[in-house]
Chain A
Amino acid sequence: MLSYTIRRLLSVIPVMLVVSIIVFLLVHLTPGNPAFIILGEDASPEAIAQLEKQLGLNEPLYIQFFDWIKQVMTGDLGTSVYSAQPVTELIFGNFGPTISLMVLSLLFILVISIPLAILIVSLRKTILDPLFTNASLLGVSIPEFWLAILLVLVFGVTFPIFPVAGYMPLAEGFGPWIYHLLLPAFVLALVEIGIIARMLRDSMLDSVNQDYTKTARAKGVRERDVLMKHVFSNALIPTTTVLGATVAGLLGGTVIIETLFTIPGIGQLLIDSIHRRDYPVIQGVVLFIAAIYVLVNLIVDLLYAFLDPRIRYD
């Protein structure tokens, strides 16, 4: 297990290298010029050329790339051309709200979708099951931003129960923190709840008539225990794969949700930086998101070995 973990961690390096090339190219091939944006429309061509030289933008792309990657290797993601703050500092400064949003969202997903799937499976012979199947399809089909706006209207404006925007750090107290996060975290979770509950339901139904559940019933085990122990523990294996992708998907979802609810997180930092053509920040944030993505997948793979004894990595 340990050697597998180490091998997997090492394999992260080439993945990150490819990601960094793609990120760099994407950013530099998009139209727009940071020098132009920083100096404003009235700037003279000489001033722009001067600033470009200062930022190293007049060098050939590959030189710029190697300069950047050399920095990254030392843990330095560069400095923002807009605010002159180090990129790592910006990322960590904005990470708190994002991770809060993600963790709370994940909590919503687990706490709602697992009991929901179990309930649906135990009532699989009733009308509830086809009802749920259609509802989950609806849930998956609803665009996040539309739902977010709708919920803000209902729970923030019509019935002003929750704040419509803003964020309070945990340091200000648990109450204000969770109060500001509940609505955005729920919106972020809703689509994924549909996916996870549906996946878990399908896997459980798949397992319900397997031979080993027949053995359990033939032992005289009560149906509730057959479902909760035998069926659930097997259905968890395929669901974990999807859960891994979900966590990664949440990270993408935060970009939209943070913008809508004006939460000063990584997503908003990214959007602002794109508007400002702040190359180092864009590159740094995307690289950071990719690293988290890879890390989550590694954790899922390690979880597998824990959930399924047939998988042994060494």
Chain B
Amino acid sequence: MLEVNNLHVHLDTPAGLVKAVDGVSFRLEAGQTIGIVGESGSGKSVLAHSLTKLNPEPPATYPKGEILFEGENILTMDKKRLRNLRGKEIAMIFQDPMSSLNPVFRIGRQLMEAIQTHQKLPKKEARQKAIELLIDVGIPDPERRMQDYPHQFSGGMRQRVLIAIALAARPKLLIADEPTTALDVTIQAQIIELLKSIQKKYGTSIIMITHDLGVVANLADRILVMYAGKIVESGSTADIFYDTAMPYTWSLLRSIPRLDAGASERLLHIEGHPPNLIHPPKGCNFHPRCPFARDACLQTDPPLAERGTNHMAACILTKPEFDKEKRAVAERKGVLLS
């Protein structure tokens, strides 16, 4: 359904050209859920916004690559077709529900706008549909809440409203850009459950952008790990969690607190910061922070290579080498091996 081929997105900033997305390719089948995981600044949000060309231009430019949605290249679409695609075929929800709703319009108006943009409906029917959407996303007393303004809703409730807005035109693909980051943990779980139930009910494909592997663990079929604008590992959720093939992914997993860890086990924190994308490091982007880096990593930037069925990783270490290194680091730092 969605096919991204060798996508490059550049941001032309006063400080220099940022290669925010640097040659990303992936496919998404209908009904599938993909998780895109990475730290802040890894380019995952720019990638997500690219899928409906929502990055502000300038500074964003799309020098290379294509995004095919049902065979049509989104990057070369005219404005009208693009507007038709947004919301109707591909909908998006964003990170901060507190600021993503217009503070001066009633919820009902914002919902009805989403409905009426793509469907010529009389006001009364649009209103009825809006109420149904609110019921769908679990907002109590929807008829009265239609009259309320965003500030009268809690963060979790606002994210539900935003999901209702996203679902208004029954999109085939829902892109969720860190939808739970700004919410309390209990609310996070509710939102994840809601997304799952929506997927089950309508068969919507979902692309879930997050920095939290825990969020995608029980939601995604496949996971893409992004680092410095590139995909460094991709595979089924099981592959990523249990057959990790890239040191960055492994470090990320070791940095999540776990309940089954003993009191003596420690969390691994990834030293340093994500690289400056204006002047990326020579060789592998991750080598300055990689616990397993060797001389060769300074010279070559390893391409994504097959590690199993539909499992790719970008690392020069072979599986036996990687396993050996993992054991050594796990022992030395006192972190869990797997």
Among the listed stretches B14-22, B88-96, B286-294, B329-337, which one makes contact with chain A, having 4 or more residues with CB under 8 Å of it?
Answer: B88-96
Among the listed stretches B65-73, B113-121, B274-282, B296-304, which one makes contact with chain A, having 4 or more residues with CB under 8 Å of it?
Answer: B113-121
Q: Select one of A218, A222, A307 contacting B92, CB under 8 A.
A: A218
Among the listed stretches B51-59, B217-225, B319-327, which one makes contact with chain A, having 4 or more residues with CB under 8 Å of it?
Answer: B51-59
Docked Cα-Cα span, A223 to B169, in Å, equals 19
Contact B118 A214 (CB under 8 A): no
Interchain nearest-CB distance for A173 vs B (Å): 42
Q: Per-position contact with B for A197-235: 1 when CB-CB < 8 Å, else 0? A: 000000000000111101111111111000000100110
Tell me if A175 counts as interface (CB < 8 A to partner B): no
Residues of B within 8 A of A14 (CB): none
Beta-carbon nearest neighbor of A208 in chain B: B56
Q: Which of B85, B102, B118 has the most CB of A within 10 A?
A: B102
Interface size on A, residues (CB 8 A): 23
Tell me if A125 counts as interface (CB < 8 A to partner B): yes
Docked Cα-Cα span, A308 to B162, in Å, equals 21
Contact A309 B151 (CB under 8 A): yes
On chain B, which size bracket covers the interface?
A: 35 or more
Known A215-B100, A219-B113: A209·B56 in contact at CB below 8 Å: yes
Residues of B within 8 A of A223 (CB): 79
Contact A218 B151 (CB under 8 A): no
Docked Cα-Cα span, A218 to B84, in Å, equals 10
A-B contact count (CB 8 A): 76
Residues of A within 8 A of B87 (CB): 218-220
Beta-carbon nearest neighbor of B84 in chain A: A220
Q: Select one of B79, B86, B96, B106 contacting A219, CB under 8 A.
A: B86
Beta-carbon nearest neighbor of A233 in chain B: B104
Tell me if B149 counts as interface (CB < 8 A to partner A): yes
Docked Cα-Cα span, A192 to B306, in Å, equals 66
Q: Which of A211, A219, A221 has the most CB of B within 10 A?
A: A219
Contact A219 B117 (CB under 8 A): yes
* 24 pairs, A vs B, C-beta closer than 8 Å: A210-B99, A211-B100, A212-B101, A212-B102, A214-B94, A215-B94, A215-B100, A215-B101, A215-B110, A217-B54, A218-B52, A218-B54, A218-B87, A218-B91, A219-B86, A219-B91, A220-B87, A220-B169, A221-B117, A223-B79, A233-B102, A233-B104, A307-B104, A308-B103
